[in-house]
Structure 1
Amino acid sequence: MARRGENIYKRKDGRWEGRYIKGRHKNGKIHYGYIYGYKYTEVKHLLILTKYEKQTSNSKNLLPYEGGVIDWTNYWLETFVRPKVKSSTYASYKNKMEVQVLPIIGSIKLQELKASDIDSLVKKMEETLKASSIRSIFSVLKNSLGKAKSLNLLSENPCMGIELPKMRKKTVQALSIKDQTKLLKEIKANQKFFSITLALQTGLRIGEICGLKWEDIDFENNTLSVNRTMLRIQTEDKIGKKTEIVEVSPKSNNSQRKIPITKSLKKKLIELQRTSTSDYVISNKNKAVEPRTIAYRFQIIRKKIGLEKFSFHSLRHTFATRCLEAGGNIATISSLLGHSSIKMTLDCYTNSFFTEERQLVEKLEFI
């Protein structure tokens, strides 16, 4: 880095970095803080203000901690995460840290971890990961270090102020009416592919379909309740890492919902129930079918009829798109999908409104 001014350096990414002494550890070692900006004068001004604030503050010294980031992470996961979250969430957090974070910064001592280390980590992840994945991993790391700060092991969270890659708006892949008709014609009444019919007519996620039980179907009121989901998570035993299928409650309160079913779907469900000997709607030898089995079955069908670009999740998008085309309002569709907010639904299906947008603009011709 090219230096300009006292403790202000030009970084390779074009930003200026200002360094100041935040304090000293009990062993006498200096603990530095960092400020970033795209203008030298901006960083210099902030550095002056920060140094003044530090001189006039009476903040406590950090508690002694000799462990590395890896030591703190393992302690945080076991003590503060595992007891409070679902097993699937714990497994997800653990996997993110072990695969993406700890191999890069795990050996650094926690109290020597700097914002520049986090910045380098983000840049490294950008080489192989999507922006959405990076943001998800970063969120876990930020929470972990935030807890360390609250326990006075860090004077500040080094994740604060880090610039993350911008998210690109997702393009929803939904089947056209023609492709949907082709798909339904191919599977016909084959019960092996009934999960496809369920997804197209209810918008259920693949894990929700796997967890659907007959007790969740109310044939009298023509409704279906989403009460659980199936997913495969990573676990550990004496031999080493492995994965297993777990049944958990839906991902959020909004995901736990009730969905009306059509007369045609009700008829198919009644026919399927007559021959079923399982508690689960979709089953194999009286056991629930796991998500990757359903995904594999769909893969067979999509290749056969030339729909390779679509995933099983596309069936959920197709349901939402058909609802939009039928004139459904966004709040109702958001509720059916179990989204956490209407904004999330709008962000996902903006492109699906194009037909309605064209019709609206065409009406202006007559005004």
Structure 2
Amino acid sequence: MDRLLDLWLKSLSRAKSQRTIITYKTCLSTFQKHLGEGKSLLDVEQGDIYSYIDSTDLSVSSIFTHLSAIKHFYRFAFRRGWLDKERYSDLESVIEDIRDEFSTSRLQKSPRALTKEELQRIFQSVRNTRYERVYTLFLYSGIRLSEYAKLSGEFFRKDPEGIYWLRLPAEITKRKKERVVPLIGPTKEESLEISQKLDLWLEDYERYIKVKAGSLQVFTNRLSQKLGIPFSVHSFRHTYITNLVNAGFPAEVVKEFAGHSNVKTTIDIYYRFSQDRAKNLVKSFLR
């Protein structure tokens, strides 16, 4: 372990300023202390990074700095053969999930859901590709990238009403709590249409829906730039949750489907007053 740390610091000295080197070294040391003496940096799991961020009182900008240092270290370890690709991909996806979530809180506004027009353009660009199926899963389940990285076909089941449900075991979720979510869209018709597609795709999950998390992020970033639409994989999660809110689901239900730590988080982020949503709820009540 000491050998790896020495090599990492030597690599930093060739590309980073002295100030950055000191900062990154301090960040990694703090993370290592959080893990405790009984755990090596190379034995880190997704939950360790979540618990580290959840336990800190750092500002958002400082959290981003710590995440950058941690990611830089693990990328170095992966490229030098100290860490396998699957483990690095898992850790990278967690870091990006956390960055996305804190970017939302930093802006102090509701996360932006993708519009119908934006979704049409995105899905038109990936039509008849594996990315169409992957984006569909994210859009209709609201899962996190780190959760997707651990999914398999056995986690899906179809209920008598024709709707698929996804069971996320505790060991792959952010809060280490099992979660069960419906794969639904803004309307019943759209939800059933997606179920029909899943009937085929889930016959061979690995073939139809599985993509490495790192490749998915790179592809999505490039597509975002190409289309001129500011979105990430996490944007589909925001859209899913927003659809639940607009459909009138109670906050405590949305909180469970989203996997938030408490209902206050759900309310503060997603339940800000919307005139359009209010009108639609009144119309629904009068039917």
Question: What SS class does the counterpart of residue 252 from structure 1 fall into?
Answer: coil
Q: Alignment partner for residue 169 of structure 1, among 77, 91, 108?
A: 108
Question: Which residue number corresponds to residue 235 of structure 2?
Answer: 314
Letter in 2 for 1:250: T
Matched, 1:337 2:258: yes
Cα-to-partner distance string for 1:288-317 (whole Å, 9 max, x where unaligned): x3322111222233233221x222111110
Q: Alignment partner for residue 130 of structure 1, among 41, 52, 61?
A: 61
- Structure 2: distance between partners of 1:333 and 1:298: 26
- Map residues 70-149 of structure 1 onto 2, 5 A cutoff: 77-79=35-37, 87-90=45-48, 130=61, 133=64
Q: Alignment partner for residue 148 of structure 2, among 202, 205, 209?
A: 209
Question: Which residue number corresponds to residue 122 of structure 2?
Answer: 183
Question: Which residue number corresponds to residue 267 of structure 2?
Answer: 346
Quote the offset at 1:324 in angstroms: 2.1
- Structure 2: distance between partners of 1:338 and 1:314: 16
Q: Please state which structure has a larger fraction of its residues in helix.
A: 2
Question: What SS class does the counterpart of residue 225 from structure 1 fall into?
Answer: strand
CA contact (8 A) 2:179 2:257 kept: no
Question: Which residue number corresponds to residue 209 of structure 2?
Answer: 282
CA contact (8 A) 1:171 1:348 kept: yes
Question: Which residue number corresponds to residue 116 of structure 1?
Answer: none
Quote the offset at 1:214 in angstroms: 0.9
Quote the offset at 1:175 in angstroms: 0.9
Question: Which residue number corresponds to residue 267 of structure 1?
Answer: 196
Question: What SS class does the counterpart of residue 179 from structure 2 fall into?
Answer: coil
Matched positions, count: 208
CA contact (8 A) 2:255 2:266 kept: yes
Q: Please state which structure has a larger fraction of its residues in strand.
A: 1
CA contact (8 A) 1:254 1:339 kept: no
Q: Alignment partner for residue 294 of structure 1, among 216, 221, 236?
A: 216
User: In the superposition, relative to structure 1, how do residues 191 and 94 fare at CA in structure 2: closer, same or farther (>3 Å)?
Assistant: closer
Letter in 1 for 2:179: Q
- Structure 1: distance between partners of 2:262 and 2:117: 30
Cα-to-partner distance string for 1:15-62 (whole Å, 9 max, x where unaligned): xxxxxxxxxxxxxxxxxxxxxxxxxxxxxxxxxxxxxxxxxxxxxxxx
Question: Which residue number corresponds to residue 31 of structure 1?
Answer: none
Q: Alignment partner for residue 173 of structure 2, among 250, 271, 281?
A: 250
CA RMSD of aligned residues (A): 4.3
- Structure 2: distance between partners of 1:133 and 1:351: 26
5+ residue gaps, structure 2, are: 1-27, 68-104, 185-190, 282-287
Quote the offset at 1:71 in angstroms: 9.6
User: In the superposition, relative to structure 1, how do residues 344 and 254 fare at CA in structure 2: closer, same or farther (>3 Å)?
Assistant: farther
- Structure 2: distance between partners of 1:266 and 1:254: 26
CA contact (8 A) 1:174 1:317 kept: yes
- Structure 2: distance between partners of 1:359 and 1:219: 29
CA contact (8 A) 2:126 2:132 kept: yes
- Structure 1: distance between partners of 2:169 and 2:225: 30
- Structure 1: distance between partners of 2:64 and 2:133: 32
- Structure 1: distance between partners of 2:61 and 2:143: 25
Quote the offset at 1:180 in angstroms: 1.8
Rg larger for: 1
CA contact (8 A) 1:216 1:226 kept: yes
5+ residue gaps, structure 1, are: 1-69, 102-121, 137-165, 230-247, 284-288, 361-367
Question: Which residue number corresponds to residue 151 of structure 1?
Answer: none
Letter in 1 for 2:194: L
Quote the offset at 1:184 in angstroms: 2.5
Structure 1-normalised TM-score?
0.46
User: In the superposition, relative to structure 1, how do residues 293 and 171 fare at CA in structure 2: closer, same or farther (>3 Å)?
Assistant: same
